[in-house]
Structure 1
Amino acid sequence: MRLIFTSLVSHGHLYPLLPLAVAARDAGHDVLFATGDDLRPVVEKAGLATESAGFGMREAFASFFGPDARPRPNDGPPELFYPVIAQVFGNVLPRRFVADLTPLFERYRPDLVVYESGNMGGAIAARLAGIPAIGHGFGRVSPGDVVDVITGRLAEYAQEVGFDGVELPSFGDPVLDICPETVQSPDFLAEAKRVPLRPVGWAEPGDLPAGVLGRDKSRPLIYLTLGTAFGDEGVLKRAIGGLARLEADVVVAAGPTVDPAQLGDVPANVRVEAWVPQAELLPHVDLVVHHGGSGTTLGAFGEALPQLVLPQGADQFTNAEAVVAAGVGGQLIGDGITEDAIFEGSRKLLADDAVRAAARALADEVAAMPSPAEVAKRLPEFAG
């Protein structure tokens, strides 16, 4: 069977699809992955063939704010940013992906398109080409105003290309859901054609930071990250200050938006890296302090890790709420993200047996979900 996978040009949207794409290739399917040029080398390192499709978030937002701007949803009142989000994700990106994917589909003629759920251009292009398609989630679905405004703008574009009155945002397609059911949105569970798929962490090949392997396990190891898109020098400095006060070792992934040098000299129990192979690191960790991105949140679920979430934007706030509701961690928001609060919150989470028990139960739920290899065998079912 010939398959095309496609995702937005973002690590957080790409990585969740790679385990299934690799499993599909290993199952004997002919797999092609279509994403932006910036991420094609990542996919090729996984041994998959690639084609260019779409462009990155920075280019999409630059159409509103200029090439040097880095707008963020929490730079002002959220409602002021909604029209921009709606235009970018409900119009600009879908149009570009439809333009790029349509000739690719005509040339390659896949039997099935697997589109990442944020990439509705993939869904529309498949529908225009008459090719069966299935969505692939990248985390917990976050219902609310942002999703509503994106769906509204997407409906306008869908009507423009001849899909009036279709079921949005997934067009009624089945959705591969990598979020464990107990923390998934109840609205999504009630409405979607959900196909569970175990979340499997993905990281580009790389060495673990020095000191992780063979370390003194009597001291907790804490992992601190704000991800690849929402890095904030001030937040990282406050988090480092709070965590360094613990009798623990700390590994920090500064990410591409913060130069490690900006963080200055750090205490002896803190190690700062520009990047770490997160999927390889998490099994060695005792606590994750992070932004609430879907990949980190789900990775911590799978490894039974307590989490202290410091949401910065996008769906991170609802992810943080889900972590708290599941009893597997805590959250600090806005002005509450202080050095003292991070120290105290982390100290409590490291000592909380109830949190560890809840995290273990959630990890067991993740382990019971169908593996990528199992779901890959089912993909011909969705090709009609």
Structure 2
Amino acid sequence: MRVLFVAMPLIGHLFPMMALVETLRERGHEVMVATGGDAAAVVRARLPVAEVAPPIDYRRAAVRGLGAHPVLAWQSGRGMADPRGGAHVFAVTNRPMIEPLSRAAIEFRPQVIVHEPFASAAAIVADRLGVPTILHNIAFDNGTLIRRELLPLLTDTALPAPASTLSIAPPSLAGVEGQAVRYTPYSTPGAATPAFLREPSTRRRVLVTRSTMLGDGPNPMLRAIVRAAPQVDADIVIVRPDRKTLHTNGLPANVHTTGWIALHEALPHCTGMVNHAGAGSVYAALHAGIPQIATPAPGDRAWNALSVQRRGAGLAVPARSITAAHLNTLLADPDLAAAARAVAAEIAAMPSVTDIADEITRSASTW
């Protein structure tokens, strides 16, 4: 079976699908990934990749997609995963993908196309080729609604529904339509996790990650954490710090920095995590069973952070407002830790990607 996976040129959009990509490949199926930018760069050495999308300038796409829609812009700015606002932003990046993706698909001749919701240009190409699609949700927002809002912005043709829909969302956090499939960590190939992060620590440890989507300028979350660190009895490790933090002289003695790492190697040895509420980081902490502070922001990031807080597995705190009190609560609150462990157990009980690969293989002949 030949399977084409399609994702926006963003690591956070491709990586949630990579467990299925690699499982199908290990079972002898032909797979290809169609994406672009950083997402293409980090998997090209391991997989056949079709470059079909330029890197995303998120600010420009947001202005172009939402500039004429002030209400949608306001709703998207709230960060509550509004599907209409998200569709208008990602329509800007989907349109130039359609023809390059079509050419790559014609050459590859897939029997099924798997795509994440924000890459719904794949559904147009699948319809041209007469092959079924699988919609692979990648976060806590409902990809069925995103696809439904996005496609009319790209085509006037009524397209078939996906043959199947997959969801990695733990039901206790978000009710996302689709067949449940267990979240499986995937890290940047070649990421070198320092030895001290792969081992238990004699002190409590907090791992901090930030968004790279908006560049490498000053980061209010990191500034707040560095300011609070002297009042926190724990080691704080910042992954991929921004330039200002990296080159600051005299960081607090308990603040350390590191480059790209495999989060799933480090998080089991951490007491807590602080992140930018991107779905990949949020899922990494949940999978590891540790509480987190997630910082609400536009797009889906307020939705992600509040979903974690409602479940009791962490705190939603604005980036610039993080204090020592928040960090000490993260480290010491037994209810946060217990809820995080419960979600990890829930994730572990979801059907494995191997089960889903078997189901796709069995069903493909009937689609």
TM tier, shorter chain?
0.7 to 0.9
Give percent identity, aligned residues only: 26
Q: What is the DSSP-based 3-state SS (H/G/I as helix, E as strand, rest coil) of the residue aligned with 2:256? A: strand
Contact in 2 for aligned 1:250/1:270 (Cα 8 Å): yes
Q: 1:301 to 1:266 in 2, by over 3 A?
A: same
**Aligned counterparts of 1:290 and 1:23: Cα–Cα separation in 2:** 29
Q: What is the DSSP-based 3-state SS (H/G/I as helix, E as strand, rest coil) of the residue aligned with 2:4? A: strand
Q: Measure how far apart 1:332 and its partner are.
A: 1.1
Q: What is the DSSP-based 3-state SS (H/G/I as helix, E as strand, rest coil) of the residue aligned with 1:324? A: helix
- Specify the code of the residue in structure 2 equivalent to 1:234: P
> 1:29 and 2:29 equivalent?
yes
- Specify the code of the residue in structure 1 equivalent to 2:296: P
* Number of corresponding residues: 350
Report what 1:157 is aligned to. 154
**Aligned counterparts of 1:259 and 1:12: Cα–Cα separation in 2:** 24
- Specify the code of the residue in structure 1 equivalent to 2:325: E
**Aligned counterparts of 2:61 and 2:348: Cα–Cα separation in 1:** 42
Q: 1:65 to 1:308 in 2, by over 3 A?
A: closer
Q: Which runs of 5+ in 2 are unaligned?
A: 68-72
Contact in 2 for aligned 1:290/1:311 (Cα 8 Å): no
Q: Measure how far apart 1:353 and its partner are.
A: 1.4
Report what 1:57 is aligned to. 56
Q: Map 1:140-219 onto structure 2 (within 5 A).
A: 140-141=140-141, 152=149, 154-159=151-156, 162-163=157-158, 171-185=161-175, 188=176, 192=177, 194-204=178-188, 205-209=190-194, 211-214=196-199, 216-217=201-202, 219=203
Q: Map 1:32-51 onto structure 2 (within 5 A).
A: 32-45=32-45, 47-51=46-50
Q: What is the DSSP-based 3-state SS (H/G/I as helix, E as strand, rest coil) of the residue aligned with 1:39? A: helix
1:261 to 243, 246, 254: 246
270-279 or 356-365: bigger deviation:
270-279
Q: Measure how far apart 1:174 and its partner are.
A: 2.2
- Specify the code of the residue in structure 1 equivalent to 2:53: G
Report what 1:102 is aligned to. 102
- Specify the code of the residue in structure 1 equivalent to 2:280: G
Q: Measure how far apart 1:94 and its partner are.
A: 2.2
Contact in 2 for aligned 1:123/1:133 (Cα 8 Å): yes
Q: Measure how far apart 1:266 and its partner are.
A: 1.0
Report what 2:324 is aligned to. 343
The root-mean-square deviation of aligned C-alpha atoms, in Å, is 2.8
Q: What is the DSSP-based 3-state SS (H/G/I as helix, E as strand, rest coil) of the residue aligned with 2:315? A: strand
Report what 2:255 is aligned to. 270
Q: Map 1:104-143 onto structure 2 (within 5 A).
A: 104-141=104-141
Contact in 2 for aligned 1:259/1:274 (Cα 8 Å): no
**Aligned counterparts of 1:173 and 1:242: Cα–Cα separation in 2:** 50
2:74 to 57, 75, 78: 78
Contact in 2 for aligned 1:112/1:382 (Cα 8 Å): no
Report what 1:74 is aligned to. none
Report what 2:17 is aligned to. 17
